[in-house]
Homo-oligomer: A and B are copies of this chain.
Amino acid sequence: MIPRDVTLGDIARALELSIATVSRALRDHPHISARTKHRVRDAAERVGYVSNAAANTLHRARSSLVGFVVPDIENEFYATMASFVAARLAQRGCQMVLAITQDDPRIELDHVRAMREARAAAVAVTLTAAPLPETIRLLAQFPTVQVVRIADGLAGRTLVVDEEAAAMMAMRHLLDLGHRDIAYIGGSTQLSSGQHRLAGYVAALGKADIAVESKYVALGPPRASFARSAMMQFAKLSPRPTAVIASGYELTLGAAQCVCDLRIRVPQELSLIGYGNARWSELIFGGLTMIALPVEDMAFALAETLLGYAPTVDGSATSTVGLDHCASQFVPHLEVRNSTSPLGSSIGLSIGHETTHAKGPGRRTRSPKLVSPWT
């Protein structure tokens, strides 16, 4: 710990070789004899040599770090993405550094600056609603890929979701079930994602010739607390909505909390659709119908893209191959479960509405058995 780190020089001295030779031996340079390589590696192992990443970074003016800037790691979507991407990058000798902005532009800037200082090889970002100009300026200085949310004025690849289609899909499902009074809880329209999701909601209503009632639309920060209070408002409305779409992870959580607090029976009294890839979605309300994102595909695409930008450490050619396979725009699908039912069907759990756009196998959608096999 306190003892100075062992350097190439130390090994060189011990073996009476030059630093250059030691360096090359460790990097498996062709022009070094097998015997020397062996001696060097052996010595390195013995003295516990560990290369100095800083010196490397300094030399080649860029590090092998890759940044991932997310608003919130407790959101399972980002957690999964981060997890997956980090694993993939690690395989190729890149470290992912995760930055959490809490949707605060100041914090965001600090993180981006830090990545810049670290000479990160590339960075993936899900920007805050109103990024500071400085943030954009800094981001422009390295290969950037924007995830989910996109800001204009920033070049580079983008990985987005067809939010509008997603929202329309959910709406279509509800409309098919006969719902007309459908409320919507969404993130701020300053977010590109929030904007498009709302657009989908509006478009779907338009198509069905239903007017958009502003009292049925709640837009705000993507926090559970906001969704909770929005839901409370809906509960007080006179022609009460018969269905609600919460279009965000936190928003879904908040809406669910409120529903639980108020002991609203789902789907008998209210059909509810959530958004995101929460693992708990199948556990509540006998299964919460969700707008689900293809996280794995997206994570794969993101990882490959980032690897394309990163310095190829192990010499393997920059495999841009994967990039062609994966799209830039991903389409979500609706996981129909039991939190949505035909309007007016107050007869316990509803059945027969699995004919919709659900792509995945419906096996996890539970049938309305009443007798538990447990007893």
Contacts and interface: CB of A to CB of B under 8 A. Distances in A.
B100 A97 contact: no
Nearest to A265: B372
A131 interface: no
Contacts of A76: 74
A95 B95 contact: no
Given A54-B58, A90-B114, A280-B283, 16 more contacts: A50-B138, A52-B58, A53-B114, A54-B118, A65-B97, A73-B79, A74-B79, A74-B83, A79-B79, A83-B100, A90-B99, A95-B97, A263-B366, A263-B372, A283-B283, A284-B284
B86 A80 contact: no
B50 A117 contact: yes
A244 to B, nearest CB: 11
29 contacts: A1-B143, A5-B119, A48-B137, A50-B117, A50-B138, A52-B119, A54-B54, A54-B58, A65-B97, A74-B79, A74-B80, A74-B83, A82-B98, A83-B100, A86-B99, A86-B100, A90-B111, A95-B111, A95-B114, A96-B98, A98-B98, A235-B374, A256-B280, A257-B282, A260-B286, A261-B366, A264-B374, A265-B372, A265-B374
A216 to B, nearest CB: 16
A375 interface: yes
A1 B61 CA distance: 11
B373 A262 contact: yes
A372 B264 contact: yes
Contacts of A143: 1
Contacts of A261: 366
B54 A63 contact: yes
A66 to B, nearest CB: 11
Nearest to A117: B53
A55 to B, nearest CB: 6
Given A86-B98, A374-B240, A374-B269, A1 B74 contact: no
Given A55-B58, A97-B97, A90 B73 contact: no
A284 B80 CA distance: 22
Interface of A: 1, 4-5, 48, 50-58, 61, 63, 65, 72-74, 76, 79-80, 82-83, 86-87, 90, 95-100, 102, 107, 110-111, 113-114, 116-119, 137-138, 140-143, 224, 235, 240, 253, 256-257, 260-265, 269-270, 278-280, 282-284, 286-287, 366, 369, 372-375
